[in-house]
Amino acid sequence: MRADFLGIPIDLLTFDETVSTAVDAMLMRKPTQHVAVNVAKLVRARHDPELRRDVVESHIIGIDGMGIVWGARALGISVPHRVPGVDLMERLLEVCAAHDFRPYLLGARKKVLERAIVNSLYRWPGLSFAGYRDGYFTPEEEESVVEDIRFASPHCLFIGMPTPQKERFLHKYRDVLQVPFIMGVGGGIDVLAGHVKRAPEIFQKTGLEWLYRTYQEPRRMWWRYASTNAQFAGLLGKEVIARALGRRAGMSEQREGKA
Q: Domains in the chain, ordered, with CATH?
A: 2-199 (3.40.50.10700)
Please report the pLDDT score of residue 195 as a whole number: 85
Please report the pLDDT score of residue 222 as a whole number: 53
Please report the pLDDT score of residue 213 as a whole number: 60
The residues, ordered by sequence, that sit 6+ positions from 158 with a Cβ below 8 Å of its Cβ are 89, 103, 104, 105, 106, 107, 183, 184, 185, 188, 189
Please report the pLDDT score of residue 65 as a whole number: 84
* Whether 42 contacts 6, CB under 8 Å: yes
Please report the pLDDT score of residue 163 as a whole number: 87
Please report the pLDDT score of residue 186 as a whole number: 87
Rounded-to-integer distance, Cα 229 and Cα 249, Å:
30
pTM value is 0.87
Q: Which of 78, 77, 79, 75 is nearest to 244 (CA)?
A: 75
Rounded-to-integer distance, Cα 96 and Cα 78, Å:
31
Rounded-to-integer distance, Cα 232 and Cα 43, Å:
6
Please report the pLDDT score of residue 252 as a whole number: 52
Per-10-residue mean pLDDT of the chain, 259 residues long, equals: 94 97 96 94 93 95 92 94 94 97 97 98 97 95 96 97 91 94 94 82 63 58 67 88 72 54
Q: Which of 203, 231, 232 is nearest to 216 (CA)?
A: 203
**φ, ψ of residue 160 in degrees (nearest 5):** -100, 65
Please report the pLDDT score of residue 1 as a whole number: 84
Q: Which of 127, 15, 139 is nearest to 82 (CA)?
A: 15
Query: SS3 sequence, the chain?
Result: CEEEECCEEEECCCHHHHHHHHHHHHHHCCCEEEEEECHHHHHHHHHCHHHHHHHHCCCEEEECCHHHHHHHHHCCCCCCCCCCHHHHHHHHHHHHHHHCCCEEEEECCHHHHHHHHHHHHHHCCCCCCCEEECCCCCHHHHHHHHHHHHHHCCCEEEEECCCCHHHHHHHHHHHHHCCCEEEECCCHHHHHHCCCCCCCHHHHHCCCHHHHHHHHCHHHHHHHHHHHHHHHHHHHHHHHHHHHHHHHHHHHHHHHHHC
Rounded-to-integer distance, Cα 57 and Cα 53, Å:
6
* Whether 170 contacts 152, CB under 8 Å: no
Rounded-to-integer distance, Cα 232 and Cα 166, Å:
23
